[in-house]
A = this chain, B = another copy of it.
Amino acid sequence: MKKIYSVEELQRIINTEINIRSEELKNDNPLNLYSPINYSLKIGGKRLRPALLLLSYNLFSDKIENALPSAVAIEVFHNFTLLHDDIMDKAEVRRNQPTVHVQYDENSAILSGDAMAFLSYKYLLEKKSEGLANVIELFSKTAIEVCEGQQYDMDFENRLDVTESEYMGMIRLKTAVLLACSLKTGALLANAGIEIANQLYEFGINIGLAFQLQDDLLDSFGNQKTFGKKIGGDILSNKKTYLLIKALETSSAAEKSELLDWIEKEDFIAEDKVAAILNIYNQLNIEELTQFKIDYYFQKSTSILQNLPVKSNNIIPLAKLSNQLLKRNY
């Protein structure tokens, strides 16, 4: 009988494998190319994407070792996007550590990032399998979409008329497709057949949308202790989140003009701005509207998962991880 791994077991396996790989890279030449890669992989993170890949693979096979290089590939790709996004967004800290362009320099973050993009293909190609051509094609398509998502996100910074549907399209590209790609890759590597692989892809899209909306929600309405970041960061930086877009869309003329005043204001006390905007959000029931939307996508994802033609017992770890993702207390 097939062994079903728990989320924790898979996370341990992934962490061990990523540590081995990044130690291998650390001493490769030129050191100035490989040392930032090692640094970036060692900073850690939830390793969500490789976990999804292996959980999906494990629905059909327990030969986890065959999917492990691809799981590493997806994590290396994800970290490549962080290196470049952090330059573009001028982010100086990630997971409480200096970002790569701060710890090293911008050229290092560009070039080591590039090398990581190609390393991810190298890892994907490590184990030959029947589904490999489809995996490479899906991965390349996804990578282009992630770039498109980042571009839309940057474009939105300069706009105040972003619609809800534009926003959902952006987070689909920037966040959801890579989760979906991880899940579909697991299925393809296990030769699960294209139909079920596509269902897992749809599951990933829905869980990804719910996950990103919740990230938006927690940034304004989270519990500082469990959220990990300072509450109100998105508000202070005028980030076009679902909350702000929905508020701009549903506000009265007076509320909208107050929102726009705060967005344009350059001198203010941080707490005042956060409090004023949260106050408008509360008048407009933004928290509840966002929670409805999260629940909608989460329920859609659950229903796809339950309808997969696999033993219901085997779905438990994947269901557990997606619950963990969406049930952070706040």
Contact = CB atoms under 8 A, between A and B. Distances in A.
Interface of A: 29-30, 32-33, 84, 87-88, 107, 110-111, 114-115, 117-119, 121-122, 125, 128, 132-133, 136-137, 140-141, 143-144, 147-148, 150-152, 154-155
Contacts of A125: 133, 136-137, 140
B114 A87 contact: no
At the interface, is chain A mostly helix, strand, loop or mixed?
Answer: helix
A114 B144 CA distance: 8
Contact of A111 (B33, B88, B111, B114): B88
A133 B30 CA distance: 27
A88 B132 CA distance: 34
Nearest to A154: B107
Contact of A155 (B30, B144, B150, B155): B30
A147 B148 CA distance: 23
A154 B104 CA distance: 14
Given A29-B148, A119-B144, A133-B133, 7 more contacts: A84-B110, A88-B107, A111-B151, A111-B154, A114-B117, A121-B121, A125-B136
A111 B117 CA distance: 13
A152 B31 CA distance: 9
Given A33-B151, A84-B111, A133 B122 contact: no
B88 A147 contact: no
A154 B32 CA distance: 10
A104 B84 CA distance: 17
Contacts of A117: 114, 117-118
A33 B148 contact: yes
Given A30-B155, A121-B136, A137-B125, A147 B115 contact: yes
Contacts of A84: 110-111, 114
A122 B151 contact: no
A143 to B, nearest CB: 4
Contacts of A137: 125
Contact of A151 (B32, B132, B154): B32
Nearest to A147: B115
A152 B34 CA distance: 12
Contacts of A147: 33, 111, 114-115, 118
13 contacts: A30-B152, A84-B111, A88-B110, A107-B154, A111-B147, A111-B151, A115-B144, A118-B143, A118-B144, A121-B136, A125-B140, A132-B133, A136-B136
